[in-house]
Amino acid sequence: MTPTPTALLAMGPGIADRLLTPVQRARLTALVDTDPALVAHRLTGPTPEVARALAGAELLITCWGAPPLTADVLAAAPRLRAVVHAAGSVKHHITPACWERGLQVTSAAGANALPVAEYTLAAILLAGKNVLPAAHRYRELRVPHDWRAELAGHGNYRRCVGIVGASRIGRRVIELLRPFDLDVLLFDPYVDAGAAARLGAEKVGLDELCARSRIVSVHAPELPATRHLIGAAQLAAMADGATLINTSRGSLIDGDALLPELVSGRLNAVLDVTEPEVPSAGSPLYDLPNVLLTPHVAGSLGDEIHRLADFALEEVARYAQGLPFADPVTPQDLARMA
């Protein structure tokens, strides 16, 4: 009989209480030997209770705010064999020392992609009908108006939507767009024309995508090569009245180049992420009528977080049974992951 693995939760303050329902906590304790009330917020200079749990842990269950697993931390965790991350990116806490140790790592990035794609779908359909500027104009006019005439150039029939990045989220967005009468373009240097067609998109270059698309949605990972991927030239190529959607990372768009396009009213934007993460209090982004600015809420929140916990529990169950993870993360994956 396989011994029950010993596990420790490691994540930011308050996260575990939001992540796990009572039913999920019960399932966790049935799968592994752990105290779900003991959550490590730090692993460097830990409390005596955390230090003892870390020394005996075979499995770490992490989420947002997880402390970095440095070489010193791993030295204090001689039995550690695997990390189950109940969130998206593992770059903030999985260090080179983890790969040197040969730790198995899995992430709920696929589960977290679902609400981001749903947010994006809603943003695309609303942008197609020019809803945000129309709503602000309605608020200003407050009288009967010929909206059909004013919005004659808009709609969601045979419009061109450009997806930048065939990431998990980008692929899910393309999938969600299939029922609609939209033409989808895709830019991703790692996807060939045949693979793009199988996804339901036409592979094109980035500049062509920006020039042809009425709506451009960014889903590439944050890497040195993708910093300011959407720059002045790409923004200038976008048609008057086009909408730029960013639910990826703020650094992928050159904010200095974007702001004049938005202030002038030439382009619209739906920005769930910016650089910096929170714009300065005096930023025009808060007040521009053609900008929908949201505080990085496209990803899992509220009850959606429990989907991440369910994924993590499935991976914990696989580990406890001696099975490989269903969605492992490898060092090679990090070059293309957020």
pLDDT digits (tens, 9 = 90+) for 4-45: 999 999 999 999 999 999 999 999 999 999 999 999 999 999
Q: What is the pLDDT of residue 2?
A: 67
Question: Could you confirm whether 142 is annotated as catalytic?
Answer: no
pLDDT at 108: 97
Beta carbons of 40 and 50 less than 8 angstroms apart: yes
Q: Which long-range contacts (CB under 8 A, 24 or more apart) does 92-101 make?
A: 92/66, 92/68, 93/62, 93/66, 93/67, 93/68, 93/69, 94/69, 94/329, 95/68, 95/69, 95/70, 95/71, 97/69, 97/70, 97/71, 98/69, 98/74, 99/331, 101/74
| pLDDT for the residue 195 | 97
Provide the percentage of residues in the chain whose pLDDT is more than 90.
95
Q: Which pLDDT score, from 0 to 100, does residue 338 have?
A: 64
Catalytic residue, chosen from 49, 100, 175, 277, is 277
pLDDT at 333: 82
Indicate the pTM of the whole model: 0.92
Name residues of the chain where pLDDT drops below 50.
Answer: none
Specify whether 27 is catalytic.
no
pLDDT of residue 334: 76
CA–CA dist 255, 276 (Å, integer): 9
Given the residues 18, 154, 266, 296, select the one marked as catalytic.
Answer: 296
The active-site residue out of 249, 261, 314, 315 is 249
- Measure the CA dihedral 52/54/57/62, to 10°: 140
Verify whether residue 307 is a known catalytic residue: no
pLDDT of residue 3: 85
